[in-house]
Structure 1
Amino acid sequence: MLDDFLIRAVLAGLGLVLASGALGAFVVWRRMAYFGDSMSHAAILGVAASFVAAVPVYLGTLAVGVMVAILVTWLSGRGQAADSVLGVIAHSALALGLVAASFVPALRVDLQAFLFGDILAVSRTDLIWIWSGALLVLAVLIWRWQNLVTATVNEELAMAAGINPAVERLILSLMLALLIGVAIRIVGALLISAMLIIPAAAARGLSRTPEHMALIATGIGAFSVLAGLQASLGLDTPAGASIVVAASSVYVVILMACRK
């Protein structure tokens, strides 16, 4: 008989990959890996703000993520180099979050869980937040799918079709902020980007269409969650890191198979 905490961990992981597979495909196509890292680093500031304001962690991380997404989009549109803007915002937000955490005794105790994740400690309330956020991200991606794909492939073609590429970039940024906000309890701020990038990168060599790639990435993510949790229980290793290692192993296997 499976323990209750393990069932919650599996459900939380599957909720994450339900949205991260499709969203990760766009992160890989658009080469937004650094953007994902920046958003995840800024999430620590959101965690600190949540403790200070006594609001749910998910709301705090989401609020900070949305502000970062809007700020990056605005500064990039005013001629600022995107990578420089991301670097300044990401490291500033991370440093400010760590400084703020030092003044919150309760957060100092739990900080490692938010940095590296603690999927085995996910509660029923956490599951509601995770699945609600994941389903919302998935619904938005399905709604905007064709516009997002067109803007990703060719921005000039998108503009000719009446699609505003800047709007689609902002939508992707906001969906990243939402996903990172709900995923921080699962794999932590330092490993969130891995679950966005690695399954999608592994799926790229096996797919021929954008939809196919998103589905395969979701499947790889689900397998990684199950394999990582099994390894964590058997080897007594960190669950979040074990999930990422499982995803990395799948990537290596697919990479070697595609080169033969």
Structure 2
Amino acid sequence: MLDDFLVRAALAGLGVALAAAPLGCFVVWRRMAYFGDATSHAALLGVALALATDLPILAGVLLVALTMALIVSALSERHVSTDALLGVLAHAGLAFGLVAISLVPGQRVDLSAYLFGDILAVSPLDILVIWGGAALVALLLILRWQAMLTATLNPDLATASGGNPRREQLILTIALAITVAVAIKVVGALLIAAMLIIPAAAARPFARSPESMAVCAVAMGALSVFAGLYASFAYDTPTGPSIVSAAALLFAISTGLSPMVRGK
């Protein structure tokens, strides 16, 4: 029999994979890796806000992640030079978050849990929150899939057919903020962007359509969770980084197999 904490960890990881993997497909298609970094790193400011105001951690992280995501989205629409500026925002958000947490009076905080996650310590309530957030993200993607896909691949066509690319960008922004808020407990602020990008990138060589890429990305994310948990349990390695390392190995394997897959 598996220990209860491993079952809870697996359920939490699967919930994050369900939300992050298909959302990560849009991040990859839009070439928005910086977007995920800036939003996830700013989540530590949300932790500090929650500790200072006695808000639930989820509420503080969601508020700050959504604010940062909206700022990044607005800057990208203004065609601001994104690489350097958003790199600054990502790292500044992380640094200010760490400083803000250290300044909260009367709080002793295990920063490693927020930086790298603490999936083995998730509670049943945490699992409910994670799966609730994952279900909300999945619902947003299902309801807006075709509109978001058209706006991603061809914004001009989306506008000509009566769509609103800015609205779809806003929906994607909200979904990203929700994912960051529920994933911080599992993989931490430093690794959330990796769980968005790597499973989607690993799924790309095997995809024959956008829908199949999203499904394959979920499978890659779930496999990363199971492999990372196994490695952490067997070799006593940090669980969050082990999950991301497993995802990176899957990406390396899929990249190596890509010529054979495309040759079929």
Equivalents in 1 of 2:236, 2:77: separation in Å?
A: 47
Alignment correspondent of 2:244: 244
Distance in 1 (CA, whole Å) between partners of 2:69 and 2:107 is 25
Q: Which residues of 2 match residues 103-122 of structure 1 at below 5 A?
A: 103-104=103-104, 108-122=108-122
AA at the equivalent of 2:242: S
Cα deviations by residue, 1:23-61 (Å, 9 ceiling, x for unpaired) = 011111011111101111100101111111111111110
Moved over 6 A (4+): none
Q: 1:7 to 1:49 in 2, by over 3 A?
A: same
Contact 1:27 1:33 in 2 (8 A): yes
Shift of 1:109: 3.1
Distance 2:150 2:255 in 1: 27
CA distance in 1, matches of 2:233, 2:31: 34
Q: Tell me the secondary structure at the aligned position of residue 55 of structure 1.
A: coil
Identity fraction in percent: 57
Q: What is the TM-score of this pair, normalised by structure 1? A: 0.95
2:110 is matched by which residue type in structure 1?
A: D
Amino acid at match of 1:193: A
The match for 2:191 is: 191
CA deviation vs aligned residue, 1:56-91 (integer Å, no higher than 9, x gap) = 111110000111122223334345333444234323
Give the equivalent residue in structure 2 for 1:159. 159
Q: Label 1:162 to 1:83 Cα distance change in 2 as closer, same or farther (>3 A).
A: farther
Q: Give the aligned partner of residue 12 of structure 1.
A: 12
Structure 2 stretches lacking a partner, 5+ long: none
Separation (CA, whole Å) in 1 of partners of 2:241 and 2:57: 21
How big is the shift at 1:15? 0.5
Match of 1:227 in 2: 227
Measured after TM superposition, the shift of residue 230 of structure 1 is: 0.6
Pick closer, same or farther for the CA change 1:76–1:112 going to 2, 3 Å: same
Q: 1:21 to 1:75 in 2, by over 3 A?
A: closer
1:255 matched to 2:255? The reply is yes
Q: Within 5 A, what are the aligned runs for 1:2-151?
A: 2-104=2-104, 108-151=108-151
Deviation sequence 1:86-134 (CA, Å, 0-9, x none): 2343233222211111123675531111001110011111111111111
- Asked if structure 2 preserves the Cα contact closer than 8 Å seen for 1:19 and 1:137, the reply is yes
Q: Report the alpha carbon displacement of residue 190 of structure 1 after superposing the two structures with TM.
A: 0.5
**2:24 is matched by which residue type in structure 1?**
G
- State the number of aligned residues: 260
Q: Displacement, 1:174?
A: 1.4
The alpha-carbon deviation at position 8 of structure 1 amounts to 0.6
- The unaligned stretches of length 5 or more in structure 1 are none
Amino acid of the residue matched to residue 250 of structure 2?
Answer: V
Instruction: Note if contact 1:101-1:108 (Cα within 8 Å) is conserved in structure 2.
Output: no
CA distance in 1, matches of 2:76, 2:247: 32
Map of 2:172 onto structure 1: 172
CA distance in 2, matches of 1:107, 1:138: 35
Q: Contact between 1:69 and 1:170, CA under 8 Å: does it hold in 2?
A: no
Output the amino acid matched with 2:210: P
CA contact (8 A) 1:48 1:107 kept: no
Give the alignment's Cα RMSD to 1 decimal.
1.5
